[in-house]
Amino acid sequence: MKLLEYQGKAVFAEAGITVPASRLVTVEPGGTKQALRERTAEAARELSAEGADGADGAEGAEGNRHGVVVKAQVTTGGRGKAGLIKTAGSPEEAGEAAEAILSRDATVRALLVEEMVSIERELYLSISVDAPSARFLILASASGGVEIETLALEAPETVKRVEVDPFFGLQAYQSRGLAFDLGLSGDTAKQFAKVVGALYEVFRSRDAELAEINPLFVTSSGRLVAGDSKLIIDDNSLDRQKEFEVTREQFGTETEYAAALEGIPYVQFEGDISLMCAGAGLTTTVYDLVQFEGGTVANYLEFGGPNYRKARRAMELCLENQSKVILIVTFGTIARADVMAEGIVEAIAELKPDRPIVTCIRGTNEESATQTLRDAGIEPLLDTEEAVRTAVAIAKGERQ
Amino acid sequence: MSIFVDETTPIVLQGATGSEGSFWAKHMIELGSNVVSAVTPGKEGQELHGVPVYHSVRRAQAVNEAEAAMLFVPPRFARDAVFEALDAGIRRVVTIADGIPLQDQVQIRAAARAAGAQVVGGNTSGVISPGKSMLGMFPYWIERVYRPGTVGIMTRSGSLTNEVTAWVVAAGFGVSTLVGVGGDLVPGSRFAEFLPAYEADDDSEAVVIVGELGGSMEEEVAELVARGEFTKPVVAFLGGRTAPSGTRMGHAGAIATGSSGTVAAKVAALEKAGALVADRPRRVGELLRSVAA
């Protein structure tokens, strides 16, 4: 689960990492532009009032009392380039910034209005896992503010690594050493080591897949402030991470949100063919084959594994798309073909889909699956590539 | 079974007394796997398909010493069960659990490395040598997938493996040992770690890798091939050639960011090392014919 910036920052702040003072402005569905402008301006006004009397000192990172940053709360990267982060010198400008952001992306559900921090320099810090070594991996750089992939390519010598043994845990000398390796000294080095410790605590206690602060600001008065947060909670740990809930604002579309609640792996695309397949690897391969054949994908959806009895719900999700055809490909062994075929036939009977369905269902008890589909008037295919070509031809209007 | 375990290797089952575990335990035994004991806390004294059940792995080991453990325990108990097996001296473990917490997986792999053990999984069907034995859940009665033969298969997927293996069989080959390392971000064992066994295995003439985007396991195979440490023919099929960057495609491990973890990078590394890469499952059979009898 990818947390939004403000959610991640709340976790950081709780762990003792300084974040800029902020207000969250939610975007009411169906609300007027005027109302959004006013509420954003009000948030900015509140922040500068706080800055003026020095309130909220725990969070306050010596904000410029007039300036704010308005940031779209979306989980996609590259917000700056996409025009989803804007600075504003006054509350009125903040209101205009909010409107401009929404005109760029109407799906934005929340805006974070933050005090502007006076920045001396920007660092990079992240914790993730290193699969081959089975260690937790801390990466840091004195050249923050750009994506780590870019940094690793363009200035690999600036990226410092520390590997943490998952049983011994992070040691103080490791955080300290990392600070010195970045060329930090004095109080800044001490603060940095503390931030590393706090972020490690967040990473471990929240079962994170990634905990990243980029940029990590060093302010003009020498304080370290998290300029952004990227906190991805491991989906397999959500059972024991009760504080995090799947919420609508984490998703671009209603369908993605509905699928997540259902536990059905689903990715939204904008093409013609809805994939309703079983098995992650096979679905990914069918996605490739559709592209090879000149088709486009409307959605990736998996109803295999524990979801193999959920054909009806899976088909319902596909039907929410503007796709032209639903392509069902499975090769299940534990997830039995006959059970899937029965589920599909029932789903078709109940949902009466308004678009053609191409099936290619193989695996355990496939003879019975084929018969079930035939009895329901579907001509089942048994070759993946043939099924893909058929779906692409239907999507292009070359056949029914 | 020549890779990982063979038909003589004594096996202990953990958490197999539930309905799913019991179903597959029965098939393991029917195929020829040498199951000597089962462990379910609180059920000592019972029997599972004629196999005695014990409270703990240590108690089972005291009676019938196993060398491999097959775990049917749910994801949230997988770490504990793996540690229990390792603690009892077992050095080959398969855990099929789908959904093991990531940081548990890191500790599982770290503990295995420290103990000099090999843990396969999670999120896998396990390991099978068709016609001989298996540690896992494979419907080996499906002839067009699980035909015995001379091609070793290593995979990160389930259904995709069936798709690819069906083409291997259609091309006239069969399977020596199939190892599912699983689809997680941190699998207990990695592709390259099985190559020495395949190199030494007289039953395997070639190896097929069923990989996908994300991680670096395919690159590690390429490295061993390039260094001349694996000399048998390698044919790979990798899913996710056209997957958009930054999008997770199903498996936790199937995500490419920037230039890392892309199929393009994996294909380049494998081809440079001399491996053959199929662009679609059907081609795997054709490529195998070009390098193996």
Same domain, A268 and A160: no
B126 - beta bridge partners? B136
Cα B72-B75-B79 angle, rounded to 5 deg: 90
**Residue-number span of the structural domain to which A391 is assigned:** 262-395
Q: Which long-range contacts (CB under 8 A, 24 or more apart) does B242-247 make?
A: B242/A287, B242/A288, B242/A291, B242/A292, B243/A284, B243/A287, B243/A288, B243/B213, B246/A77, B247/A267
Contacts A244 to B, Cβ<8 Å:
none
Domain edge (last residue) among A52, A83, A117: A117
Closest CA to A105 of A128, A126, A133, A86: A86
Contact status of B266 with chain A (Cβ, < 8 Å)? no
Contact B280 A136 (CB under 8 A): no
Same domain, A266 and A387: yes
Region of B257 on the Ramachandran plot (φ > 0 left; ψ -120 to 50 alpha; else beta): beta
Q: Please indicate whether the domains covering B1-123 and B142-293 agree at the CATH topology level.
A: yes
The single-letter DSSP state of residue A303 is -
Give the pLDDT band of residue A20 (cuts 50, 70, 90). very high
Closest CA to B215 of A186, A263, A133: A133
Helix A254-262 and helix A311-319: axis angle, to 10°?
170
Give the pLDDT band of residue A60 (cuts 50, 70, 90). very low
Cα–Cα dist A272/A103, whole Å = 26
Domain edge (last residue) among A117, A136, A171: A117
Contact A136 B216 (CB under 8 A): no
Same domain, A143 and A211: yes
Contact A236 B210 (CB under 8 A): no
Q: In terms of DSSP bridges, do strands B35-39 and B47-48 run parallel, antiparallel, or are they unpaired?
A: unpaired
Same domain, A112 and A156: no
Mutation target vs A (from B100, B163, B185, B259; most A CBs, 10 A cutoff): B163
Predicted confidence (pLDDT) per residue in A191-229, tens digit: 999 999 999 999 999 999 999 999 999 999 899 999 999
Residues of chain B with pLDDT under 50: 1
Predicted confidence (pLDDT) per residue in A304-354, tens digit: 777 778 899 999 999 999 999 999 999 987 788 999 999 999 999 999 999
Beta strands in A239-369 (DSSP E): 266-268, 273-275, 297-301, 325-332, 357-363
Write down how long chain B is.
293
Predicted local confidence at residue A66, as pLDDT = 64
Mutation target vs B (from A129, A284, A300, A301; most B CBs, 10 A cutoff): A284
Give the pLDDT band of residue A48 (cuts 50, 70, 90). confident
Predicted local confidence at residue A76, as pLDDT = 84
Output the domain CATH number for residue A86.
Answer: 3.30.1490.20
Assign domain B1-123 to its CATH superfamily: NAD(P)-binding Rossmann-like Domain (3.40.50.720)
Using CB atoms and an 8 Å cut-off, which of residues 14-73 of chain A contact chain B? none
**Beta-carbon neighbour count of residue A243 at 10 Å?**
8
Give the pLDDT band of residue A54 (cuts 50, 70, 90). very low
Mean pLDDT over the full length of chain A = 92
Residues 6+ apart with CB under 8 A from B141: none
Q: Which long-range contacts (CB under 8 A, 24 or more apart) does A235-240 make?
A: A235/A1, A235/B252, A236/B75, A236/B99, A236/B100, A236/B101, A236/B102, A236/B252, A237/A207, A237/B101, A237/B102, A237/B103, A238/A1, A239/B76, A240/A207, A240/B76, A240/B101
pLDDT at A63 over 90: no
- For A115-123, what is the mean pLDDT? 94
Domain boundaries, chain B: 1-123, 142-293
Q: Which residue of A has its CA nearest to B97?
A: A236
Domain edge (last residue) among A87, A117, A147: A117
Q: Which two tokens stand for residue A20?
A: 């800029």
Q: Which two tokens stand for residue A219?
A: 């302010």
Cα–Cα dist B173/B163, whole Å = 14
- For A68-79, what is the mean pLDDT? 92
Same domain, A101 and A157: no
Same domain, A184 and A298: no
CATH class name, domain B142-293: alpha beta
Contact status of B254 with chain A (Cβ, < 8 Å)? yes
Contact status of B152 with chain A (Cβ, < 8 Å)? no
Same domain, A308 and A367: yes
Half-sphere exposure of B69 (CA within 13 A, CB side): 32
Per the annotation, the verdict on B27 as an active-site residue is no
Same domain, A129 and A112: no
Q: Which two tokens stand for residue B288?
A: 């195998």
Predicted local confidence at residue A310, as pLDDT = 87
Contacts B155 to A, Cβ<8 Å:
281
Q: Which residue of B has its CA nearest to A278?
A: B159
Cα–Cα dist A164/B77, whole Å = 24
- End-to-end alpha carbon distance in chain A: 40
Predicted confidence (pLDDT) per residue in A141-180, tens digit: 998 888 887 888 888 888 999 999 999 999 999 999 999 9
Active-site pick, A5, A6, A115, A124: A124
Active-site pick, A212, A302, A342, A366: A212
- For A130-150, what is the mean pLDDT? 92
Scanning chain B, the segments in alpha helix (DSSP H) are 19-31, 57-63, 75-87, 102-115, 159-170, 195-200, 217-226, 263-273, 281-291
Size of interface A-B (CB pairs under 8 A): 177
